[in-house]
Amino acid sequence: MRNALLIKPRVSILLSLLFCVIYIGSFVLFALASMSWWLHLLAGLFILLHFVYVMRRYVLYRHPLSVKRLWCDDHDNWNMQYNDAHVRHARLIHTLTLSRYFVFLSFRVPGRFFPVPMPLALDSDKAENMRQLRRVLQADSEEPALQAD
C-alpha cells in the first residue's frame, strides 16, 4: 500500500514539459522584441505560472490512484479509499462550498506533495458522510487551539 502512494510521474514527462515551456516561452519573448521590459517580465511570469498549472493539473493530478470513497470511523478519523489502496487518517485541510449541492474537499495525504482533491455531490450517497464531516468541522472550530501534527 505504501509503495502505491509513492508513485510519481515519470521524470521524462516533467523534463519534456519544462523544455517545451521554456522553448515556446523564449520564442514568444524574443519574437516580440519591440515589447517593453515589463511586458517581457509579465509574459515570462504568465508562462511560468502556466507551466505550474499544467504540471499540477495534467501530470500530478493524473495519478493512477484516485479517490473513490470517503468515510468516517468511530473515532472521527476520515478515511479515503483509492482505486487499489487505503489511506487512513488523511487530514482534511480545506473545504470549499460551491453551491448547496456541491462541496470540494482537500486532504493532506502522507506521501503526496499536493493536496488530494475530492468533490462531493450532496445529493448522492455521500450526503451522510458530508453531514458527519460538517459535525466534525464544527467541533474542531470550537476547540480553543489546534494541536500541531
68, 81 contact by CB (below 8 A) = yes
- Partners of 71 in beta bridges: 79
Nearest to 117 by CA among 47, 77, 40, 62: 62
| Residue 15 grid cell | 523534463
- Over residues 28-54, the pLDDT tens digits come to 667 666 777 777 777 778 877 777 776
Nearest to 67 by CA among 87, 82, 56, 45: 82
* pTM of the predicted model as reported, rounded to 2 decimal places: 0.35
Quote the CA–CA distance of 128 and 94 in Å, as a whole number.
19
Across all residues in the chain, what is the average pLDDT? 62
